[in-house]
Amino acid sequence: MTTNPWDAEAASFDEQPDHGLKDPAVRKAWADLLLPLMPAANSKVVDLGCGTGSLSLLLAEAGHDVCGIDSSAAMLDVARKKADIDFREGDAADPPTTETYDVVLARHVLWAMPDPGAALDKWVALLNPRGRLVLVEGRWFTGAGLAPDECRDLVRARRREADLRMLDDPALWGREIDDERYLLLSRH
């Protein structure tokens, strides 16, 4: 049996301010960033690579119908203790759903995909015709990740729009950062 490496991170994952959103200021910063990007209350949102479900919970509390998907059973166990949300175990690269959504959200997931283009093809296929793709990504201080232009090019190869916004506000991360972090929004 193969062990998911993220299972070992589940117990302490929420200790990072931007993971657990336990700090009210960090939580508010994420709400202020994401909620205006949602099309309307009661939107159907799939949170791919949802981890412990902090963003899923934030969106559900704002009235959205959220499905969180993660490959780590241990992360999902933590998420299920936070809220009664539709959390499903599965690979974000090939989400276990045939539904269509108003929003596909992925935070710090695309960069880790073995084939980001193939993952994006699957994610875009989950969107209804007016659906929104919301990606929070980065090029980390370690050199790993996706550069903003690289991510934008990947999205533009599949969708007409790819608006980029740098996320350098320490309020989002609970600290100063020294790498590139950004949000990419594609409405169509």
Q: What does 17-56 look like in DSSP terms, one character per residue? A: HHHH--SHHHHHHHHHHHGGGSSSTT-EEEEET-TTSHHH
Q: Which of 170, 49, 167 is nearest to 108 (CA)?
A: 49
pLDDT values of the chain reduced to their tens digit, one per residue, 188 residues: 557 888 899 999 999 999 999 999 999 999 999 999 999 889 999 999 999 999 999 999 999 999 999 999 999 999 999 999 999 999 999 999 899 999 999 999 999 999 999 999 999 999 999 999 999 999 988 889 999 999 999 999 999 999 999 999 999 999 999 999 999 999 97
Q: What tokens appear for 12 in the block?
A: 């302490």
**Residue 46 belongs to some domain of the structure:** yes
Residue 66 domain-assigned (yes or no) = yes
Report whether 96 contacts 70 (CB < 8 A): no
Which residue segment(s) compose the domain that 149 sits in? 27-34+41-83+99-180
Residue from 150, 157, 152, 162 nearest 188 by CA: 162
pLDDT of residue 4: 87
At residue 78, the 3 state secondary structure works out as helix
How far apart are alpha carbons 79 and 50 in whole angstroms? 9
pTM: 0.95
Q: What total of structural domains would you count in the chain?
A: 1
- Distance CA(94)–CA(123), nearest Å, equals 8
Is 8 within the bounds of a domain? no
The predicted pLDDT at position 30 comes to 97
Residue-level pLDDT at 2? 57
pLDDT on residue 41: 80
CATH of the domain at 71: 3.40.50.150
Distance CA 63, CA 65 (A): 7
On whether residue 16 sits in a domain, the answer given is: no
Q: Are 70 and 46 in contact (CB under 8 A)?
A: no
